[in-house]
Every structure is written in structure tokens, then in C-alpha cells.
Structure 1
Amino acid sequence: MGHREDLLEGAKRCLLRKGFMRTTARDIVKESGTNLASIGYHYGSKDALLAQAYVALVEGMADAFEGGEKAGPATEPGSVERFQEVWTNVIATMKEPGSLWRLSMEIIVIGDQLPELRDHLAKAQQEAGRGFIPLLMGGREEDVSEEELGTLGMFYVTLMTGLIAQWTFDPKTAPGADQITAGLRRVIEAATGAGAP
């Protein structure tokens, strides 16, 4: 690996251990075996490096969202069953000790203090919405329209952010996939009149 990759891997480890605010450039250099000048040369700033490291950690969760090593979700794309299956997998990542999702809460709290970090991660959030759509609805990321991204993609990102907040704040009372799926069913019934006598 070169310095760029070493820095990224070191930054990931620092984020998981110390979070954004407590990670210093010197921590990253020590963890990566590189030097301070490498951060500026390869990433522009420590905050930009940490943002890319966070995005890389989140991207590494894609397999877990699909159910691990199997070939992806087993249920029909766009179905309520697919919704429950995927959110079961997503929530499982929140239950793990030292879940990286705690970093998301830190970002929300410190975002206005670190505009470069916030701007970079706001773009990454858009891409997360683009990734959720094919996972839940089928199809390919590259075929997701801007309209779908701005509606359905942001719906899924908003649901994810709420779940992260609840699982971070109080895991004992945070909803499971069965509860949010039951809620979705009730919304569908109310919207379509399917539950009406």
C-alpha cells in the first residue's frame, strides 16, 4: 500500500476508536505509519481524510445490508417482505458493540463546526439514497433518476437516520424491522383504504 491507502486505513481505525472530534492528525499519522505532510498532499486536510474514511466504512456495510455472503436479499424487490428483510439486516449492524453508526450521530452534532466535513458527507448521503433504492426496489444504482433519488432515496436515508438515532440513544426501546414494517403496512392500508371496512 502507498501512503494514500495507509492514511485511509489508519483514519478508519482512528474513527472507530476515537470518533471525529478526538482524532488528531498525529493520531492518524501514528496509526498509518506515514507523516503529517502526507495528509495534506493526498487529502487536502485531516477533515477531508476523515470524511473519506467514514464513507469507506459505510460502503463496507453494503454486504451486511444484503444479508452477508449470500447473493443478496431473497425476497421480491419492492415488496413489504423485502423492506422487512433489508431493514432487519440494517438494524443488525446497529446492534453490534462499537457500531460505526455512532459516528453518524457525532457528525450530526458537529456538522456546523466542520463545514468541509459536512459538505463532503452531505454528498455521500445522497449516494447512500441512490444505493438504498436498488437494494429495496431492485434495479441498478446507475439507473436511479434524480427524481427517485430526491424522493424515495431520501425517504430511505431519513428512515436510516432515525433508526441510527434511536439505536444510539436507547437500544432497549429502539424499533426492530418487524415494528417498522408493521408501521409501513398501516400507512399503506390508510393510504389505499385497504384497511377500511
Structure 2
Amino acid sequence: MGHREDLLEGAKRCLLQKGFARTTARDIVKESGTNLASIGYHYGSKGALLAQAYVSLVEGMGDAFEGGEAGLSATEPGSLERFQEVWSNIIGTMRQPGSLWHLSMEVVTMGDQLPEVRDHLARAQREAGRGLIPLLMGGREEDVSDETADTVGMLYVTLMTGLIAQWTFDPKTAPGAEQIAEGLRQVIAAATKR
């Protein structure tokens, strides 16, 4: 690995250990075995590096969202059963000790103090939604239109952000996938009665 990759891996470890606000450039350099100048050279700033490290950590969750090695079952893409299965897998990642999702809440609550990180992650939301759509509805990520990413994808991102907040704030009463799927069933039933 070169300095760029070493920095990214070091920043990921720092984020998981210290979070955004407490991670210093010197922490990243120590963890990565690189030097301070390489942060600016490869990423432009510590904030940009931390944001990229967080995105990389989230992208690494894809297998867990799909159910790990077992993958998604034979549930029909776009069905309520698939919806419940995928959200059950996602919620499973929130239940894990040391879950990386607490970092999302840190950005939400400290966004004014971490503007570069917040701005980078805000731009990444469309792609996050685009990535969730094939998991829940089938198809390929590269075939998801911008309009679908901006509507259905953002609905999924909003649901995920709310779940992260619930599971961070009060995991004992946070909803499970069964509750969310049942809530969606009731919304659909009410909408189709008219």
C-alpha cells in the first residue's frame, strides 16, 4: 500500500476508536505510519480524509446488508418480505457493539464544528440511496436513475437515518424490521382504500 491507502486505513481505525471530533491529524499519521504533509497532498485536508474514511467504512457494510455470506433469501425484490429482510440485516449492524453508525449521529450533532465532513457526507447521500435501491427492489445500482435515487433512494436514506438515531438514542425501544414492515403495510393499506 502507498501513503494514500495507509492514510485511509489509519483514518478508519481512528474514526472507530475516537470518532470525528476527537481524531487529530497526528492520530491519523501515527496510526498510518505516514507523515502530516501526506494528508494534504493526498486528500486536501483532515476533514476530507475522515469523510472518505467514513464512506469507505459504510461501503464495507454492503455484505452485512445482504445478510453476510448467506446473502439475501429468495424473497421477491420490491416485496414487503424483502423490505423486512433487508432492514432486519441493516438493523443487525446497528445492534453490534462498537457499531460505526454512532459516527453518523456525531456528524448530525456536531455538523457545525465539522463542516467539511458534513458537506462531503451530504453529497454522498444520493449515492447511498442509489446503493440501497437494488438491495430492496432488485436491479443494478448503475441502472438506478437520478430521479429514482432522489425519491425512493432518499426515502430509504431518511428511514436509515431515523433508525440510526433510534438505535443510538434508545436501543431498548428502537423498532425492529417487523415493526417497520408492518407500519409500511398499514400505510399502503390506508393509501389504497381511497
Contact 1:84 1:177 in 2 (8 A): yes
Distance in 1 (CA, whole Å) between partners of 2:151 and 2:145 is: 10
1:18 alignment counterpart: 18
Contact 2:88 2:177 in 1 (8 A): yes
Deviation by residue 1:89-116 (Cα, 9 ceiling, x = unmatched): 0000000001000000001112222222
1:41 alignment counterpart: 41
Contact 1:73 1:86 in 2 (8 A): no
What residue identity is the alignment partner of 2:114?
Answer: L
1:114 alignment counterpart: 114
1:59 alignment counterpart: 59
Q: Does 1:164 align with 2:164?
A: yes
Deviation (angstroms), 1:124 = 1.3
1:83 alignment counterpart: 83
1:9 alignment counterpart: 9
Contact 1:94 1:164 in 2 (8 A): yes
Contact 2:65 2:86 in 1 (8 A): yes
Contact 1:48 1:117 in 2 (8 A): yes
What residue identity is the alignment partner of 2:59?
Answer: E
Distance in 1 (CA, whole Å) between partners of 2:104 and 2:89 is: 18
Deviation by residue 1:132-158 (Cα, 9 ceiling, x = unmatched): 111100111111111111110000000
What residue identity is the alignment partner of 1:10?
Answer: G
Deviation (angstroms), 1:171 = 0.4
Distance in 1 (CA, whole Å) between partners of 2:71 and 2:156 is: 22
The TM-score normalised by the length of structure 1 is: 0.96
Deviation (angstroms), 1:71 = 4.1
Percent identity of equivalent pairs: 81
The TM-score normalised by the length of structure 2 is: 0.97
Say which SS state the counterpart of residue 171 (structure 1) adopts: coil
Distance in 2 (CA, whole Å) between partners of 1:85 and 1:34 is: 42
Structure 1 runs of 4+ aligned residues shifted over 4 Å read: none
Unaligned runs of 5+ in 2: none
Deviation by residue 1:21-62 (Cα, 9 ceiling, x = unmatched): 000000000000111011001000000000000000000000
Mapping for residues 111-150 of structure 1, pairs under 5 Å: 111-150=111-150
Contact 2:21 2:114 in 1 (8 A): no
- Aligned-pair Cα RMSD in Å: 1.1
Distance in 2 (CA, whole Å) between partners of 1:116 and 1:102 is: 18
Say which SS state the counterpart of residue 92 (structure 2) adopts: helix
Q: Report how many aligned residue pairs link the two structures.
A: 194
Distance in 1 (CA, whole Å) between partners of 2:129 and 2:108 is: 17
Deviation (angstroms), 1:74 = 2.7
Unaligned runs of 5+ in 1: none
